[in-house]
Amino acid sequence: MICCCCGCPRLALREILWEQLISEWRIASHEVAYINRQQGLSCTECLANLRSMALAAAVMRWAGYDGLFKHYVKKASARKLSVLEINEAGGLSPFLAELPNRVLKSYPDIDMRALPYGNDSFDLVLHSDTLEHVRHPVRALSECRRVLKPGGGCAFTVPLIVDRLTLSREGMPPSYHGAPDTRSGDYQVWTEYGADAWKHVIQAGFPECRIVSLEYPAAQALVGVK
């Protein structure tokens, strides 16, 4: 496997999950293994991890481009796109920074449930492992749809447990992603995503949801198309 962002064949793996989160998430050993791969398998050159690569693959599939992301962002068609990046999209952010019409906004300066942009403002909206931290994710996705132009795409990743259904953590003890000592509110997990994650995209008003798989079960990205 090579990095689809920069083309480097050298990838390194490190474990990301810790015992408390594994227990709170109630995931089995094989699920721990592929989530560790999703979050901890990284390119030694550009530092993009597997979930960032999945997001890159999803964007290029939406755009009809077959190649490396570092080349895609230099294409004239990509440079014409108006792009909203919500929070830094992991290792994709340095590549997206090359696009002249890319806007980067991060929490708490922006609320995904009330985006400060007019209707039909962007060709592409991206976010990576952000939606699970938003208390009302369908509302957030509906805002992403609202600010997209017709035909535009909302490409995103969420930590996905492929053999279970999506679960709201409302009423459950707080659980946090980030690091073992993280207890900040913006890292609190409100939704544990499963095989039916696509439903939130459709419930948000998108007529189409694409699932792009870079490596099953570790690396899936979703694209809502307006």
Residues 180-223 have pLDDT tens digits of 776 666 789 999 999 999 999 999 999 999 999 999 999 999 99
- Number of domains forming the structure of the chain: 1
Share of the chain above pLDDT 70, in %: 98
Is residue 37, in this structure, part of any structural domain at all?
Answer: yes
With H, G, I as helix, E, B as strand and everything else as coil, classify residue 99: coil
Residue 6 lies in a domain: no
Distances (CA, A) of 156 to 22, 54, 59, 194: 23, 9, 9, 14
129: domain CATH number?
3.40.50
CA–CA dist 51, 159 (Å, integer):
9
Structure confidence by residue, pLDDT tens digits, 83-105: 999 999 999 999 999 999 999 99
H/E run at residue 178? none
In a domain, 1, yes or no: no
3-state SS assignment for residue 84? strand
32 inside domain: yes
3-state secondary structure of 196: coil
Judge whether 5 lies within some domain. no
* 170 within a domain of the structure (yes/no): yes
* 6-41 tens-digit pLDDT: 999 999 999 999 999 999 999 999 999 999 999 999
Q: Note down the domain range covering 190.
A: 11-225
Q: Say if 4 falls within a structural domain.
A: no
Read off φ and ψ for residue 74, nearest 5 degrees. Answer: -95, -10
pLDDT given for residue 182 in this prediction: 67
What is the maximal distance between C-alpha atoms in the chain?
48
* ω into 159 cis (within 30 of 0): no
